[in-house]
Chains A and B, each alone.
Chain A
Amino acid sequence: MIYVLYFITYGFLLTVAIGLLTSWIDRKVTARVQYRVGPPILQPLIDIIKLLGKETLIPKGASKSTFLMAPVVGFASAILVSTILWVNNITSAHTYLGDLVVVIYLLTIPSISIIMGGFASRNPLASLGASREMKLILSYELPFVLAVLVPVIKSGFSLRLATILGYQLQNGAVATGLSGVLALIVAIFCIQAKLGLVPFDIPEAETEIVSGPLVEYSGPGLALYKLMKNMLLFILPFFLIIIFMGGLHFDAISIVKYVGLVALVTVIRNTNPRVRIDQAVRFFWGPMTFLAALAVALALTGR
């Protein structure tokens, strides 16, 4: 019963609200970097409402049920993962062993839903975008899991988020140690790719393949995808804060932590050009995996 409450209030309402606000911060900072004024604060919400009111078009020859189901799958997993994170952040009473693994799996499903939607829409550009997204997942998953391994090792090989949080409460945040800092850097690059932001917006690549897997989506389907992306803009930094920086606590320091992380992601996005897919794969399997492995080794020796 308590989970249903968390699901509706924290998992859905609060996450959506913070996600939309973060999306506004992202657009506003981008605009200010380019010496523009930028959109008003309610703009992301208005976009979603507008998209919900538009017609749904299903392309000829598309797999209809998959095409319509894909955004719902991604959206549902985003709500679920944010619920699990909030429960862990607020109380350790209702958590269970192994939720870290569940969270890592659920964080992949939004990308998989985009791949499903792209392939189901029977559009060459969408298929191209979906195949790029697939390669991107293969490239960033390895360093991301290695980076997540560092807090696990630090907290005495615990796969439970609540234990990791408890460890950080007593011994200070994971990101204060050398291994923690290295892992955090790797993880920030990985969430950049997970969010599909420049330099790793290769699947969407507005200027070359229109908008990639989402090219055939209109109306409510597109609204769900946009909402999912906005929620991920909150969920992924939140996840990093939980495992590396000791959780969010509704106080000034937590807000600084969160806004700082989001601003960092936005600045990386605004100061870099898009890389090619082979460059991205090389980047993640080369330097990033090496750094992550180094961080794991350092963590094992207790640094």
Chain B
Amino acid sequence: MSLKLKALLKSPWVFHLSTGSCNNCDIEILDCLTPRFDIERFGMLLAGSIKHADVLLVTGSCNRQSVIRLKRLYEQMPKPCLVVAVGECSLSRGMFIHSYNCPLPLDKIIPVDVYIPGCPPKPEAIIAGVVKLIEKVKKDKLSEKTKKAK
């Protein structure tokens, strides 16, 4: 794995975007920063500006208004970057699945790297999701290498 990617996985700065959530998922994300869970142990920080971020954390179902902003934010994020969907709403639109206002789930709009289900997911589940994300990126890189070797 390149040094660039290794450093990225060791210090992922997270930008937290709510595309119309009920605010419950957001509170659970903030829980991860509290003394009990303390994700700064893994070098994660909440970034205030999207230009500083490496990970886009999306909560809530994407409605017609927020989709425009979501796409713009995704384009503004400096690459390489990762996207995490948190909560039932952003995974499959949850209880808003029949709503006129939520035509598409998140992964039909922008590429999603890891899904964290739950309504809302526990902080433990969020941390476990991030660990999965890190493992996934590592494995992807390895499989690319073996493909090239073949």
Q: Is the CB of A46 within 8 A of B78?
A: no
| Chain A residues whose C-beta falls within 8 Å of the C-beta of B3 in the assembled complex | 49, 53
Closest to B4 in A: A53
Q: Using a CB-CB cutoff of 8 Å, which residues 36-86 of chain A contact chain B? A: 36-40, 43, 46-47, 49-50, 53-57
Contact with B along A207-239 (1 / 0, CB 8 A): 100110011111100100000000000000000
User: Does A278 interact with chain B (Cβ within 8 Å)?
Assistant: no
User: Does B107 interact with chain A (Cβ within 8 Å)?
Assistant: no
Q: Is the CB of B7 within 8 A of A57?
A: no
Known: A57-B51, A217-B51. A46 touches B38 (CB 8 A): no
Bound Cα distance A56, B78 (Å): 7
Residues in B lying within 8 Å of A, measured CB to CB: 3-4, 7-8, 10-11, 35, 38, 40-41, 43, 48-49, 51-52, 54, 76, 78-80
| Chain B residues whose C-beta falls within 8 Å of the C-beta of A55 in the assembled complex | 78-79
Query: Besides the contacts A36-B40, A40-B43, A219-B78, what 8 more A-B pairs have beta carbons closer than 8 Å?
Result: A31-B38, A37-B38, A39-B40, A47-B43, A53-B7, A53-B8, A217-B51, A218-B78
Q: Is the CB of B40 within 8 A of A47?
A: no
| Chain B residues whose C-beta falls within 8 Å of the C-beta of A40 in the assembled complex | 41, 43
User: Does A35 interact with chain B (Cβ within 8 Å)?
Assistant: yes
| Chain A residues whose C-beta falls within 8 Å of the C-beta of B38 in the assembled complex | 31, 36-38
Q: Is the CB of A218 within 8 A of B11?
A: no
Q: List 23 A-B contacts (CB under 8 A).
A: A36-B35, A36-B38, A36-B40, A37-B38, A38-B38, A39-B40, A46-B7, A47-B7, A49-B3, A50-B10, A53-B7, A54-B54, A54-B78, A54-B79, A54-B80, A55-B78, A57-B78, A210-B49, A215-B48, A215-B51, A216-B49, A218-B51, A218-B78
| Chain A residues whose C-beta falls within 8 Å of the C-beta of B7 in the assembled complex | 46-47, 49-50, 53
Of residues A50, A53, A210, which shows the largest number of chain B Cβ atoms within 10 Å of its Cβ? Answer: A50
Known: A35-B35, A50-B7. A222 touches B41 (CB 8 A): no
Bound Cα distance A200, B37 (Å): 29
User: Does A171 interact with chain B (Cβ within 8 Å)?
Assistant: no
Q: Is the CB of A57 within 8 A of B40?
A: no
| Chain B residues whose C-beta falls within 8 Å of the C-beta of A222 in the assembled complex | 51-52
Q: Is the CB of B11 within 8 A of A50?
A: yes
